[in-house]
Chains A and B, each alone.
Chain A
């Protein structure tokens, strides 16, 4: 009987629009590495382009639609700070202590059950009708213009807890952006990436699950001379963070090294 590992996340896990085939994304390549080690398993890809952590959380249980996977690789969070996934409290209709509206189109990325913050206050979406949200607990200090953001930490916690005691979750951090300019370097991380990685790492620590530090992994390769800084070979295009087939191969190797070091495989 063939076992299955699942990979869930955003366009880093699967993206059908940038020239990379499904068999060139890291889930397939990771399973291929594990098969070469003698394990009869394959990877089921639950990546969906554009997903933020609330959107991944809303479909977290879909990994069980076919079977209970042996391991679930969770890689998401970067889209939480991308346009379309956050907003400000809209003026109209006037917000109340339990309702508000977000900008057109943002409501869909904050489905029921997702964790968001309003003006830094943590709430959970209990109702969503297009861009009109109902939330709990009540926040009396709500006012139009306040930021409405995904609560990346809380969503990631709920995502991995979906898999605890059923499968073995592992969190993969946001990748090293090896652009010719404006990306990560071996001495500094971009602000957006560093913030997301810190949250991803904290969730792993707090939940007691493994964390694959892709930034550190790729940094080590660059310092060792295996890859060149600024070569953007990890990416489909310069200044486009999506993985090239080579980049996916590197990520797959990083995850493989981590799970074999854990004696999971």
Chain B
């Protein structure tokens, strides 16, 4: 009696790995920034934000390459500016990356503003790997383009683990202004958070010799003040909303005197 052996790689669950790093472009001329606090329905708190300017000579594209294991590869992204999807090849095989339209196919409701749940599995039978992924962000002669890349869809059986609640990423601590509203949700290494942002916690330290009052606001004026608290000398105050605090724009902080240092924790 013969024995039948199935040698095909066993594919696991398709899971989402959020983008978390600040990476530089591998072609010169354009900016590859990390846009923090850029929440989406999959819970990614940060996204890669490649941006290319329109160029009559088609100069300055961006390319980004890496290796991935497992049977599955997909991309979770949205078109931020312009009309073109990114270009993706895996092991030299090109894939058509779908564009998730921002229009209503039934003509009932008009324009969809932010389709953030835009995940596309490009291939689910790649084999064990490793596989070489090449992503290119193409330049146009007529339009500026930018994308938000929220993360990747990969094969759990390759050893990847979808982050659970509690993944946090902090930004550089910022000195809070004396009686001046300071935007504490932008970072010189990243694109300033714009649009809806998600904040997991805010840590504020008082390194001075006396108590200071902290004010948190969702605007740069007192009209947005939502929290006022005194922080004793040498203490650290932790503002923990118990989940994601969603704000339309940036988070601001103000101190009753100079010296407070705030760090905002993003995540899900």
Interchain nearest-CB distance for A234 vs B (Å): 15
A87 to chain B, nearest CB (A): 27
Docked complex Cα distance between A187 and B138 (Å) = 35
Chain A residues within 8 Å of chain B by Cβ, number: 20
Are A17 and B27 interface neighbours, CB within 8 A? yes
Q: Which of A37-45, A154-162, A220-228 contacts B (4 or more CB under 8 A)?
A: A37-45
List of A residues within 8 angstroms of B139 by Cβ: 18-19
Q: Which chain A residues (20-37) contact chain B, with CB distance < 8 Å?
A: 20-25, 27-28
Do residues B88 and A22 form an inter-chain contact, with CB atoms below 8 A?
Answer: yes
Tell whether, in the assembled complex, residue A21 and residue B84 are in contact, meaning their CB atoms are under 8 Å apart: yes
Task: Name the contact of B87 in the complex, choosing from A23, A46, A236 (C-beta under 8 A).
Answer: A23
Q: Is the CB of A236 within 8 A of B58?
A: yes
Q: In the complex, how many residue pairs between chain A and chain B have their CB atoms under 8 Å apart?
A: 59
- Is B91 within 8 A of A66, CB to CB? yes
Q: Flag the segment in B92-100, B113-121, B168-176 that touches A.
A: B92-100
A179 to chain B, nearest CB (A): 16
Give the residue among B91, B94, B136 with the most A Cβ atoms within 10 A: B94
Is B61's CB under 8 angstroms from A28's CB?
no
The B interface, classified by DSSP as helix, strand, loop or mixed, is loop
**Partner among A17, A25, A236 whose Cβ is within 8 Å of the Cβ of B94:** A25
- Residue from B27, B87, B134 having most chain A Cβ neighbours under 10 A: B87
A100 to B39, CA, bound (A): 60
What residues of A have a CB within 8 angstroms of the CB of B91 in the complex?
Answer: 44, 66
Binary CB contact string for chain A from 1 to 17 against chain B (1 if under 8 A, 0 otherwise): 00000000000000011
Q: Are B134 and A22 in contact (CB under 8 A)?
A: yes
| Assembly CA distance A66 to B92 (angstroms) | 10
- Are the CB atoms of A45 and B138 closer together than 8 Å? no
Write out the residue numbers on chain A whose beta carbons fall within 8 Å of the beta carbon of B63: 16
* Residue A237, interface by CB 8 Å: yes
Write the nearest CB–CB distance from A39 to chain B, whole angstroms.
15
CB of B32, distance to nearest CB on chain A (Å): 14
Residues of B within 8 A of A27 (CB): 94
How far is B88's CA from A28's CA once the two chains are assembled, in angstroms? 12
A16-B136, A19-B141 known; A44 and B92 CB under 8 Å?
yes
| Distance between B69 CB and nearest chain A CB, rounded to angstroms | 16
Cβ of A18 to closest chain B Cβ, rounded Å: 5
Per-residue contact bits, chain B 135-164, to A (CB 8 Å; 1 contact, 0 not): 010111100000000000000000000000
Interface: B211 (CB within 8 A): no
B61 touches A17 (CB 8 A): yes
Does chain A have a CB within 8 A of B247?
no
Give the distance in Å from the alpha carbon of A17 to the alpha carbon of B134 in the complex: 13
Given A21-B84, A21-B138, A22-B88, is A16 in contact with B61 using a C-beta cutoff of 8 Å? yes
Residues of B within 8 A of A17 (CB): 27, 58, 61
Q: What's the Cα separation between A46 and B134 when bound, in Å?
A: 13
Cross-chain contact A44 with B136 (CB below 8 angstroms): no
- When C-beta atoms are compared, the residue in chain A nearest to B95 turns out to be A23
For A19, list chain B residues within 8 Å (CB): 58, 61, 138-141
Within 8 Å by CB of A22, from B57, B61, B87, lies: B87
Chain B residues with Cβ below 8 Å from A18 are: 58, 61, 139
Nearest A residue to B84 via CB reads A21
- Residue of B57, B87, B92 near A21 (CB, 8 A) is B87
Does the CB pair A237–B138 fall under 8 Å? no
List the 10 closest pairs (A to B, CB-CB), nearest first.
Answer: A21-B87, A22-B94, A44-B92, A28-B94, A23-B94, A16-B136, A22-B87, A22-B89, A19-B138, A23-B96
